[in-house]
Structure 1
């Protein structure tokens, strides 16, 4: 088959590599220009560079405009394959090839449609995540499913570890999807849109720790926001502090939500919800980074006690 690839960042590059390694011909690679924005600069392996190394024509664009659609028409693809494309694709484009357009999305659709699905899955506390290959339609991540691969979420996994594990699913999923199309009898499974969950783009505010949350949720939140992602943060004595490592306290603690209570196990415990009754475990902070970029042990940094707050006080 003749394939046009739409993709960006490491996800797009791994998908293009899988297409190059297949028995099919990649006739055009469409990608975004390099970006310095906070999330686009993460996992920024170049699709353009890989395509040019293999002599594949490249089209750089921010959006699927008229010029892009014209180039794709002239490439005469049998199918378009998309992974990590940031802007809207019109029906004129995604319905153009005989086999339509396949989109790769790193969640188990219809759950976690939208943005940063792996991080949101870990933050949400689900037990598994994965990769879905589906047919593109008029809505975001809602088309019929062709291939879906699952992975468990280990108890101590970080967001970065899960993202990397999910990327390793790309070659197998691409090959399975293309083989299904070639067979002439692909099995499409409609999504139950009543089960759909949508998650928005993450911003700086989404990394702020909510001390009214349970310690189990907060510990998972800290793990999800692992490097190179923006880290979980709070404010202590007027200074923004990133929480790099934390666990759940052994004892339950009472007092006031957000209060640095006591040292335990090499860190300090911060009270969470229901602090008045002391019914909950606290978050045990063991490693932090201050605004000057210096990392410190939790017990050393919080030795004066006090409160962690949503904003500088």
Structure 2
């Protein structure tokens, strides 16, 4: 099968692309923002562009005018396009090109947590984590669900570690689709719009923490979103305190707020406490 891939420089995209490169399928092209196919220009290590160049795969820059992108894509034989963590809307003209259409690997249990940063919101709301493979339409993350799987993770993972485990859970979904795309697409189920949540990119106020949450929830949320480099705010003794990262947690009886040496602070929670670093 001839597969096209659309992604970004993030680890979610690169892990999905590496799977395709290691599979028995033929990869027709890789597309992302900024692909140049020119070794004179530096590229991001471990990006989809760098992987494409390593394997000699055509890399198409999606920032070019659409007509130019379409001209390059129409020169390729494309049975299906897999999209993983591409942060923009894919034009309808591209969606219509492949024989079996375009599918997206999305890190949430759709229709919940549509949008560009579902991991942030799932940890913020202590929701069940998961991954979905769905068809692509003119509406972002709203296509029919081909397959999905819930995922349980250990505590304290970074976003990159979370992506790695979600991709591992998603690989069998991709494999099942590629084995029999006709059957998989025929069995795809439309999403229930009544259950849909469309989430935006977080702003500063979204990084507020509630001491009524469990210590485990606070710890995992902070560890999963540290890469945003945004201070977390928490109300302690009628004063707003800003934190930079979570260090550890313990499930003990709540206690008073204690500021320790080296700008560390103990945050009392509903069922224990979190040791965190103060933001400077």
CA gap of 1:20–1:158, structure 2 versus 1, over 3 A, is closer
Q: Secondary structure at the match of 1:141?
A: coil
Q: 1:287 to 1:151 in 2, by over 3 A?
A: same
Q: Equivalent residue for 1:90? A: 91
Structure having the larger proportion of residues in strand? 1
1:73 aligns with 2:62: no
**Partner residue of 2:40?**
none
What are the Cα deviations for residues 181-238 of structure 1, in whole angstroms up to 9, with x where unaligned? 166874211111111112211344433x345754555344334334x44265348999
2:157 — aligned with what? 158
Who is 1:288 aligned against?
A: 277
Deviations 1:1-35 (A, max 9, x none): 2222111122222222222233322111111228x
Q: Tell me how far 1:166 sits from its aligned partner.
A: 0.8
Q: Which residue is equivalent to 1:251? A: 253
Query: With structure 2 as the length reference, what TM-score do the two structures score?
Result: 0.78
Correspondence list, 1:214-225, <5 A = 214-216=213-215, 217-225=217-225
In structure 2, the residue matched to 1:168 is 168
Which aligned pairs between 1:55-204 and structure 2 lie closer than 5 A?
A: 55-62=56-63, 65-126=66-127, 128-154=128-154, 156-160=155-159, 161-181=161-181, 186-204=186-204
Q: How far is 1:171 from its partner?
A: 3.0
In structure 2, relative to structure 1, the CA distance for the partners of 1:4 and 1:270 (3 Å cut) is closer
Bigger CA radius of gyration? 1
Shift of 1:261: 6.0
TM-score by length of 1: 0.71
Aligned counterpart, 1:230: 229
SS of the equivalent of 2:53 reads helix
Q: Aligned partners of 1:82, 1:234: CA distance in 2, in Å? A: 35
Residue 33 in structure 1 maps to residue 43 in structure 2: no
Q: Structure 1: how far apart are the matches of 2:241 and 2:252? A: 28
Check 1:17–1:239 CA distance in 2 against 1; reply closer, same or farther (3 A cut): same
Residue in 1 that maps onto 2:244: 242
* Structure-2 residue corresponding to 1:300: none
Please say if residues 232 and 244 of structure 2, whose CA atoms lie closer than 8 Å, have aligned partners that are also in contact: yes
Matched residue SS, 1:168? helix
Does the 8 Å contact 2:266/2:275 carry over to 1? no
Cα offset, 1:134, TM superposition: 0.6
Distance 1:242 1:262 in 2: 14
Name the stretch that deviates more: 182-191 or 132-141.
182-191
Query: Are the counterparts in 2 of residues 7 and 47 from structure 1 also a CA contact under 8 Å?
Result: yes
Counterpart secondary structure, 1:288: strand
Mean Cα deviation higher: 97-106 or 19-28: 19-28
8 Å Cα contact 2:15/2:164 also seen in 1: no
Q: C-alpha distance in 2, partners of 1:159/1:177? A: 29
Distance in structure 2 (CA, Å) of the matches to 1:57 and 1:166? 27
Deviation string, structure 1 residues 107-130 (Cα, Å, up to 9, x no partner): 11111111221232122112x322
CA RMSD of aligned residues (A): 3.3
Q: Residue 39 of structure 1 corresponds to which residue in structure 2? A: none
- Cα distance in 2 for partners of 1:103, 1:185 equals 13
User: What is the alpha-carbon distance in structure 1 between the residues aligned to residue 241 and residue 125 of structure 2?
Assistant: 28
The answer as to whether partners of 2:176 and 2:184 remain within 8 angstroms in 1 is no
1:26-54: CA deviation from partner (whole Å, max 9, x where unpaired): 111111228xxxxxxxx972111111222
